[in-house]
């Protein structure tokens, strides 16, 4: 049987505190390029960067857009508790399709996230009103957001400028000059 929502909220608060200064190993695995938890890289020319990008984006969207939006809607009188519970299910683990969050869990190895999604879904059974819903989902959102910030911290931001540098107008003019585009002749 699922824990009552109050116990789950307390557990989420403890887990968020525990990972506040200590990055979970499953996120460190991405940082070090160790993919032991899934088939990540098998179909991507033996690299994991694509999975890392998707997991990073999934955390960002789930924590800041999805969960935040559902909490905003929970504060409106026009949304009922059952609607909010169903929205959380559809956002977090719909039975009829793959979705961003399940891809993070399945291919990105984010098993702690998957565990707490399942626990939160089960804990919603004991939620009797919108105030309790907001308390539980707020604690869950704090946990997910902390995981996101670890992903953000370890994300290899230097790859962008190294591989895909932004070109200035002056760079483009020089490329055009060197290619002969501005003078009508090809090559210099």
CA distance 26 to 24: 6
Fill in the DSSP letter of residue 107.
T
Q: Indicate if the alpha-carbon torsion angle 154, 156, 161, 164 is positive or negative.
A: negative
pLDDT tens, residue order, the chain (188 aa): 788 999 999 999 999 999 999 999 888 887 787 765 555 555 556 667 777 787 888 889 999 899 999 999 999 999 999 999 999 999 988 777 776 677 777 767 788 998 999 999 999 999 999 999 999 999 999 999 999 999 888 888 888 888 888 899 999 999 999 998 865 555 54
Q: Where are the domains of the chain?
A: 5-156, 162-188
Beta-carbon contacts of residue 146 (< 8 Å; ≥ 6 apart):
16, 19, 20
Give the pLDDT score at 57: 85
Do 55 and 108 form a contact (C-beta atoms < 8 A)?
yes
Do 53 and 47 form a contact (C-beta atoms < 8 A)?
no
At residue 183, what are phi and psi to the nearest 5 degrees? -105, -5
Beta-carbon contacts of residue 182 (< 8 Å; ≥ 6 apart):
173, 176
Angle at 12 between CA 8 and CA 17, to 5 degrees: 150
Do 87 and 70 form a contact (C-beta atoms < 8 A)?
yes
């Amino acid at each position: 049987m699922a824990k009552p929502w109050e116990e789950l909220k307390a557990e989420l608060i403890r887990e968020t505190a525990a990972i506040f200064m200590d990055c979970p190993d499953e996120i460190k695995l991405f940082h070090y390029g160790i993919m032991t938890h899934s088939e990540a890289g098998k179909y991507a020319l033996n690299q994991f960067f694509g999975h890392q990008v998707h997991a990073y984006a999934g955390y960002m969207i789930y924590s800041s857009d999805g969960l935040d939006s559902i909490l905003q809607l929970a504060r409106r009188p026009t949304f009922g508790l059952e609607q909010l519970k169903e929205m959380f299910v559809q956002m977090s683990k719909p039975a009829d399709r793959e979705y961003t969050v399940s891809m993070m869990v399945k291919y990105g190895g984010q098993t702690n996230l998957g565990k707490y999604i399942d626990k939160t879904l089960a804990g919603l059974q004991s939620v009797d009103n919108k105030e309790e819903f907001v308390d539980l989902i707020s604690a869950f959102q704090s946990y997910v957001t902390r995981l996101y910030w670890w992903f953000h911290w370890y994300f290899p931001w230097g790859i962008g400028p190294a591989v895909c540098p932004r070109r200035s107008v002056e760079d483009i003019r020089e490329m055009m000059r060197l290619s002969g585009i501005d003078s009508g002749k090809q090559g210099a």
